[in-house]
């Protein structure tokens, strides 16, 4: 079992570091990256004027997913009934407030908790259009009543906390529901279910190959899984090729959509499973959604290797590292019956 601070912190810090590593090159082609950073591409975190490497909406929304999960748990403990996707939907509405959108007047009571007071979370870092348009509609998308037909990777890139928090009985379905709030295409929400299932499997002590195969088996039991399954199986097939990482990744896709982002990340994590730095460098140096593939790879391998196997300078230099550690530790605790906990994660 890996249910300890070492691996919870590794998962969330790993995701934030991958996000920050990929962010400077997110909208660049591989050729542009190589021209700017040399033939090996970007190799290290880029420190901004704030003295930290900046995270993006991927990490912002991951933190709000975690906050929603914990507030749902408070509500369940205090009131006995709770619908976690609704509570996570409200958490995403708080994120919308940090991005400059107006409060929903009839939900005035949801705008509290500690993350809204974190100044750095109010930075706008190229948030995804599917997330913004779905959430600004003020409607909660579901699998049964999809809010759109988007399969962008904005669903999968934010659900790692579900993989840490929930057990194998319900983790897949919870992550699917969280992603379906904003992404209505099966590959947009099934990729999220698969990532969360993979992280839970890692937390249970499975080796990486077994965790991936277990996840593919789970995926195949879902309706409309074919596209997602095909991408993951292609990633595994490419591991046995002699292709350089950039060529293998290009065969999988660019990562702008859910199934490709997950498959690229699984490829990088499996190929370099003993070397966090190599895996992340591979995950961001391509002509696609570098911060999301970096973030997901970091979530997977951070959960697998633990925070002590992440370069110390990266942990120290990533933006909001202390906030991320706090959230990771709170996910591990799950719930505390104290006034301090209620103030952080009120369960209305």
Length of the chain measured in residues: 348
Q: Are 41 and 34 in contact (CB under 8 A)?
A: yes
Q: What confidence score (pLDDT) does residue 348 get?
A: 83
pLDDT of residue 178: 98
Q: Could you tell me the two tokens for 210?
A: 């077994």
Rounded distance between C-alpha atoms, residue 255 and residue 293, angstroms: 7
pTM score: 0.98
d(CA 320, CA 93): 21
Contact in structure between 267 and 250 (CB atoms under 8 Å): no
pLDDT tens-digit profile, the chain (348 residues): 999 999 999 999 999 999 999 999 999 999 999 999 999 999 999 999 999 999 999 999 999 999 999 999 999 998 888 999 999 999 999 999 999 999 999 999 999 999 999 999 999 999 999 999 999 999 999 999 999 999 999 999 999 999 999 999 999 999 999 999 999 999 999 999 999 999 999 999 999 999 999 999 999 999 999 999 999 999 999 999 999 999 999 999 999 999 999 999 999 999 999 999 999 999 999 999 999 999 999 999 999 999 999 999 999 999 999 999 999 999 999 999 999 999 999 998
- Res 240: pLDDT: 92
List of domains in the chain: 5-334 (1.10.4080.10)
Tell me the C-alpha distance between 87 and 5, whole Å.
25
């Amino acid at each position: 079992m890996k249910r300890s601070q070492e691996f919870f912190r590794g998962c969330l810090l790993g995701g934030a570091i991958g996000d920050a590593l990929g962010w400077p090159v997110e909208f660049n082609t591989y050729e542009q990256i190589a021209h700017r950073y040399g033939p090996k591409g970007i190799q290290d975190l880029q420190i901004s004027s704030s003295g930290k490497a900046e995270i993006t909406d991927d990490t912002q929304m991951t933190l709000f997913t975690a906050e929603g999960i914990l507030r749902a748990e408070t509500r369940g403990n205090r009131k006995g009934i709770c619908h976690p996707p609704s509570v996570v939907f409200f958490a995403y509405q708080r994120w919308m407030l940090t991005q400059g959108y107006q409060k929903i007047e009839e939900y005035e009571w949801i705008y509290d908790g500690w993350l809204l007071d974190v100044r750095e979370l109010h930075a706008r870092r190229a948030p995804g259009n599917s997330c913004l348009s779905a959430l600004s509609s003020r409607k909660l998308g579901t699998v049964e009543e999809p809010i759109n037909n988007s399969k962008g990777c904005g669903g999968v890139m934010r659900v790692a906390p579900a993989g840490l928090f929930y057990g194998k009985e319900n983790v897949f379905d919870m992550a699917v529901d969280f992603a379906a709030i904003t992404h209505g295409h099966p590959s947009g929400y099934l990729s999220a279910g698969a990532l969360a299932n993979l992280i839970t499997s890692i937390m249970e002590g499975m080796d990486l190959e077994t965790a991936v195969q277990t996840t593919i088996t789970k995926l195949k039991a879902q309706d409309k899984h074919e596209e997602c399954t095909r991408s993951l199986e292609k990633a595994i097939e490419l591991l046995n090729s002699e292709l350089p990482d950039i060529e293998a990744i290009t065969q999988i896709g660019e990562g702008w959509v859910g199934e490709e982002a997950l498959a690229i990340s699984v490829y990088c994590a499996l190929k370099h499973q003993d070397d966090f730095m190599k895996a992340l460098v591979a995950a961001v140096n391509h002509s696609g959604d570098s911060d999301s593939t970096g973030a997901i790879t970091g979530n997977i391998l951070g959960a697998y290797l633990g925070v002590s196997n992440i370069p110390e300078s990266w942990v120290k230099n990533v933006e909001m590292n202390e906030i991320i550690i706090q959230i990771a530790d709170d996910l591990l605790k799950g719930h505390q019956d104290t006034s301090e906990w209620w103030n952080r994660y009120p369960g209305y």
